[in-house]
A and B are shown apart, each in its own frame.
Chain A
Amino acid sequence: MNGLTPGFADPVPDAQACFRALLDAMARPGRVQRLAALPEAPAPLAPAAAAVLLTLADAETPVWTDAGPAAEEWLRFHAGCPLVAEPGSAGFLLAAGGLPTLTALEAGTEEEPHRSATLIVQVAGLEPGEGWRLTGPGIEREHRLQVEGLPRGFLADWASNGARFPRGIDLMLCAGNRLVALPRTTRIEEAG
């Protein structure tokens, strides 16, 4: 663990503060949350993405990531989570370099839709007020969100994910200290 950067400075209150931001993010899809208490995660981990895993992952949650050995070592040490090579067997996925195929991830079952993966994706930018139109539970009328850095074809994949409700994965987008959650119930329309 030589050279490992620290996790949360004050783990109990920092995890609580992060969880509240996540809960608010899931309850209000598309609203940009700024996480205040952030760990010193090694590159290429975005601080918000690292904070999510410190808050939610542990020995019971297999994690998949493409962020490389330094990130893996850091996660193993600070979150205590097992790392898996197969995206389909992960409870949490942290994608730093591209989007895994959504249909290859655990989507839960009709009886146990909660046994589905949560995919954390690092993106280049998250801006509220313009871009996509989001509707669904948690949204009074619509939320607008501009996301930079997702591949073409994402919206079609997301629509397919929503079509298998109650099965489906849930998404968290992170950029720097910013975070947006998109539960499987959120419908996205291209700006227009």
Chain B
Amino acid sequence: MTALGYNFGYLDENTKRMIRRALLKAVAVPGHQVPFGAREMPLPYGWGTGGIAVTASVIGAGDRLKVIDQGADDTTNAVSIRRFFAKVAGVETTERTGEATIIQTRHRIPETGLREGQILVYQVPMPEPLFRLEPRVAETRRMHALADYGLMHVKLYEDIARHGHVAISYNYPVLVGGRYLMSPSPIPAFDNPKMDRMPALQLFGAGREKRIYAVPPYTSVKSLDFEDHPFRPVRADAPCALCGSRESYLDEVVVDDKGGRMFVCSDTDYCNTRQAAREAAE
């Protein structure tokens, strides 16, 4: 028990064991959604309960945790989750991607390449990639069992027929290990290629649906596409106004009350590091 009377990591040991068993099976069957029957977390859904349940089951006193929300370390949500784990697990926290052992994320993958030994925990609002096309859970389970993903290919092809390209900019569906259709969570499609053969372990937690899934290191993750319409990650065609990056994913932000706008990196750690390096060089 910590000084505050919580069990370490907040969850009780029975719940952790159940989630840990689910995590190991999730790693053994990459991209397959494993149900877990955890009790309610003391947080509203949308707050990242699935990601928090996964992090709480994995984290130990020697870890260093980074939490990002849409790429930023300093949003209310990210700060609250960091404080939560500093309190219930007594772990160190960091904003530096390279220093973190566990990174919990909502809606982005850091720009800095992840390495072996790191764990990326995604907060997932809806784990089922087929739910908009097939609302019946029993039917989507059958489709996953048979790897019958024709419905998704038809949807993408209709997009191409109508718009000339696939009209999905977030949560673009991927095929894991050549077998399972998987929701990458609402990250921008720009981030999808970072998932492919990533050296770090990727874990996904969906709190409301109580599902866990995983992508082991060095596992193939392919965005669905067609030979004549290959997947193309898009980013705003501009450099970051703060650090000048032409590679990073950009957010358009309003800078004054006259409607002035500029593009800046969504990944605050990446952008700050580049700005500091530039100042040091001057």
Residues of A within 8 A of B (CB): 11-13, 15-17, 19-20, 22-24, 26-28, 55-56, 58, 60-61, 109-111, 113-114, 116, 118, 137-140, 165-166, 170, 183-185
CA distance A61 to B17 in the complex (A): 11
Q: List the A side residues contacting B7 at CB < 8 Å.
A: 12
Q: List the B side residues contacting A118 at CB < 8 Å.
A: 24
CA distance A165 to B60 in the complex (A): 33
Task: Tell whether A114 pairs with B217 under 8 Å between CB atoms, given A16-B60, A27-B27, A184-B29.
Answer: no
- A26, B29: Cβ atoms closer than 8 Å: no
- A137, B219: Cβ atoms closer than 8 Å: yes
Q: List the B side residues contacting A166 at CB < 8 Å.
A: 29, 32, 179-180
- B8, A183: Cβ atoms closer than 8 Å: no
CA distance A41 to B149 in the complex (A): 48
Task: Tell whether A19 pairs with B20 under 8 Å between CB atoms, given A27-B217, A111-B145, A140-B217.
Answer: yes
- B13, A15: Cβ atoms closer than 8 Å: yes
- B58, A19: Cβ atoms closer than 8 Å: yes
Q: Which interface class (under 10, 10 to 19, 20 to 34, 35 or more) fits B?
A: 35 or more
Known: A19-B58, A138-B218, A166-B180. 19 other contacts (CB 8 A): A11-B13, A16-B8, A20-B58, A20-B60, A23-B24, A24-B117, A26-B216, A27-B217, A56-B21, A61-B21, A111-B141, A114-B29, A116-B25, A138-B216, A140-B199, A140-B218, A183-B27, A185-B28, A185-B177
Closest Cβ neighbor of B89 among chain A residues: A16
Q: List the B side residues contacting A28 at CB < 8 Å.
A: 116, 216-217
Q: Which of these, B8, B23, B30, B34, contacts A137 with CB under 8 Å?
A: B30
- B23, A23: Cβ atoms closer than 8 Å: yes
Residues of B within 8 A of A (CB): 7-9, 13-14, 16-18, 20-30, 32, 34-35, 57-61, 116-117, 141-142, 144-146, 177, 179-180, 199, 201, 216-219
Q: Report 25 cross-chain contacts, Cβ distance below 8 Å, ordered by A residue.
A: A12-B8, A16-B8, A16-B9, A19-B20, A19-B57, A23-B58, A24-B201, A28-B217, A55-B17, A56-B17, A56-B21, A110-B145, A111-B142, A113-B32, A137-B30, A137-B218, A137-B219, A138-B27, A140-B199, A140-B217, A165-B29, A166-B29, A183-B28, A183-B29, A185-B177
- A26, B27: Cβ atoms closer than 8 Å: yes
- What 6 A-B pairs have minimum CB-CB distances, sorted nearest first? A114-B25, A183-B28, A110-B145, A138-B216, A137-B219, A137-B216
Among A15, A19, A165, the one with the most B-chain Cβ atoms within 10 Å of its Cβ is A19
Q: List the A side residues contacting B146 at CB < 8 Å.
A: 110
Q: Which of these, A23, A58, A165, contacts B14 with CB under 8 Å?
A: A58
Q: Which of these, B9, B22, B28, B34, contacts A184 with CB under 8 Å?
A: B28
Q: List the A side residues contacting B17 at CB < 8 Å.
A: 15, 55-56, 58
